[in-house]
Amino acid sequence: MAELLGRALDLSRGASTDDFLLAAIAAHQELSKAGGQR
């Protein structure tokens, strides 16, 4: 999970708020997908 959050932060560095939100949503979707597979 920290890995995904770190990736979202990397993507958002120097990006607009919208880009950060999109990265956060993408990370959340990946977490949901991973949780559903377990």
Q: Which of 38, 14, 10, 37 is closest to 26 using CA atoms?
A: 10
Does the pLDDT at position 38 exceed 60?
no
Report how far residue 7's alpha carbon sits from residue 22's, in angstroms, rounded to the nearest whole number: 12
Tell me the pLDDT of the chain averaged across its residues. 77
Report how far residue 35's alpha carbon sits from residue 8's, in angstroms, rounded to the nearest whole number: 18
pTM: 0.47
Mean pLDDT calculated for residue range 11-24: 73
Does the pLDDT at position 23 exceed 60?
yes
pLDDT at 1 (0 to 100):
65
Q: What is the dihedral of CA 20, 22, 24, 27, to 10 degrees?
A: -140
